[in-house]
Amino acid sequence: MAKRFIEVLKGKRLAPPPWWLMRQAGRYLPEYRELRNRAKNFLDFCYRPELAVEASLQPVRRFGMDAAILFSDILVIPDALGQRLEFREGEGPVLEPIASDRDFARLKPENLHRRLAPVYEAVRRLAGGIPAEVALIGFAGAPWTVAVYMVEGQGGGARTKIRDWFRRRPADGETLLALLADATIEHLSRQIASGAEAVQLFDSWAGGLDDDEFRRFVIAPTRRIVARLKERHPGVPVIGFPREAGARYPEFARETGVDAVGLDGAIVPSWAVREIGACAALQGNLDNRVLVAGGERLAGEARRVLEGFRARPHVFNLGHGVLPETPPEHVALLAQIIRAWKD
Ligand code: CP3
């Protein structure tokens, strides 16, 4: 039986569209908080297959999404490479930044598979345990976004350290992105071999770059990853999510070869349908704050998204992850609205 989520990624239009939510597992669910308390820390949580499997299944059980996403994090790659990483309560991830050639030389790509074995074990168990109509999504951070964390030591901000570094020593920048692209290919390839049926590349910090940087740091590594995955796993769809790419989304879709693009909340659906719809399926893009608000505002905005993308293959999602303050009942309301949608 073809799964609805996979059919749409391969170019079929379905009404109602399949749906899932970025960060559908997380602190907004009481059962997640309970599970989280059983782990020593967040990384321990990610590396214990029985906990990761349960966290992946919780939202699907409660709300009936069309896809489960592996519970893990994009920062398991720097962790597995040997960079020091800590998830501090209320502060998010903090890494010991890469500042010199010496730090760089200490990264150990050869340890990746061994360190990440529990992640693949979680994928295997999930593939064997999810309901037959639900698809399993694997994921990784895109090289640029992971490099931002590795060099800046944290996310967000103006990203001046990394942009300066890549400008002063372009060869080092390219080497880091190539190392991360290769690690990402291996990581996603193993997830697929373990049972992931589609994969998503999260490029959360793809905004705020100039044209040349966007091509070198976002498009080029993504294109390389997509090409290798397509050679090794033909038919497994790849979703690219270059958050805040704005007017560069069409070029991203054309140049990288992704099957679908994840759109952030700033993108107008009719524009995306016109400018991107011909070369990729579209995923998105309800504002995550509207999901916090709930009620009529949620109903109205969700229908606007459904209507806006109806002309093309569309996967309903948010423009960014579920916020921790989201009432779970609002997700249940969203599920009802999507299921009731007719063309
Ligand atoms: O979507 C899912 O349900 C699957 C699991 C998933 C997590 N992180 C779990 C998580 C996925 C796909 C991610 C991706 C991720 N991680 C991204 C890309 C998407 C985005 O949000 O832009 C990024 C940038 C990260 C790095 C990261 N991990 C940050 C910035 C944080 C702290 C923010 C926060 O909400 O605390 C994390 C921690 C994290 N990753 C949590 C979860 C559920 C919260 C940890 C906790 O339980 O305390």
- 77 CA → ligand 1 middle, Å: 13
- Helix (H/G/I), strand (E/B), else coil: 337: helix
Known catalytic residue: 172?
no
Residue ranges per domain, the chain? 29-284
What is the DSSP pairing of strand 92-95 with strand 85-88? antiparallel
Dihedral class, residue 289 (left if φ above 0, else alpha if ψ from -120 to 50, else beta): alpha
- 23 CA → ligand 1 middle, Å: 7
Query: Nearest-5° angle of CA 195, CA 196, CA 198?
Result: 145
Asked if residue 322 has its Cβ within 6 Å of ligand 1, the reply is: no
Asked if residue 294 has its Cβ within 6 Å of ligand 1, the reply is: no
Asked if residue 207 has its Cβ within 6 Å of ligand 1, the reply is: no
pLDDT tens across the length of the chain (343 residues): 699 999 999 999 999 999 999 999 999 999 999 999 999 999 999 999 999 999 999 999 999 999 999 999 999 999 999 999 999 888 889 999 998 878 888 999 999 999 999 999 999 999 999 999 999 999 999 999 999 999 999 998 889 999 999 999 899 899 999 999 999 999 999 999 999 999 999 999 999 999 999 999 999 999 999 999 999 999 999 999 999 999 999 999 999 999 999 999 999 999 999 999 999 999 999 999 999 999 999 999 999 999 999 999 999 999 999 999 999 999 999 999 999 999 8
pLDDT at 32: 98
List of residues 6+ apart from 338 with CB closer than 8 A: 16, 17, 19, 302, 306, 316
Give the position of tokens 């249940």.
332
Asked if residue 27 has its Cβ within 6 Å of ligand 1, the reply is: yes
Q: Which residue blocks in 218-285 are alpha helix, DSSP H?
A: 220-232, 249-256, 269-275
pLDDT at 26: 96
DSSP sequence for 38-68: TSSSHHHHHT-HHHHHHHHHHHHHHH--SEE
pLDDT at 100: 80
Phi, psi of 77 (to 5 degrees): -70, -55
H or E stretch covering 90? none
- Helix (H/G/I), strand (E/B), else coil: 135: strand
Report the alpha-carbon distance of residue 71 to residue 45 in Å, rounded. Answer: 9
- Assess contact for 228 and 185: CB atoms under 8 A: yes
Known catalytic residue: 36?
yes
Q: Which amino acid is at 58?
A: Q
- 321 CA → ligand 1 middle, Å: 8
**What b/e readout covers 287-311, taking b as 16+ CB neighbours within 10 angstroms?**
bbbbbbebeeebeebbeebbebbbe
Asked if residue 71 has its Cβ within 6 Å of ligand 1, the reply is: yes
Known catalytic residue: 27?
yes
- For the chain, the C-alpha Rg in angstroms (whole number) is 19
- 298 CA → ligand 1 middle, Å: 23
- Residue 84 burial by Cβ neighbours in a 10 Å radius (0-12, 13-18, 19+): exposed
- Residue 263 burial by Cβ neighbours in a 10 Å radius (0-12, 13-18, 19+): buried
Dihedral class, residue 136 (left if φ above 0, else alpha if ψ from -120 to 50, else beta): beta
Asked if residue 155 has its Cβ within 6 Å of ligand 1, the reply is: yes
- 133 CA → ligand 1 middle, Å: 26
Query: What tokens appear for 246 in the block?
Result: 């704005």
Closest CA to 76 of 35, 26, 114: 114
pLDDT at 15: 97
Q: What is the CATH number of domain 29-284?
A: 3.20.20.210
Q: Residue count of the chain, please give it.
A: 343
Asked if residue 24 has its Cβ within 6 Å of ligand 1, the reply is: yes
The atom of ligand 1 lying closest to the CA of 200 is 12
Known catalytic residue: 149?
yes
pLDDT at 101: 79
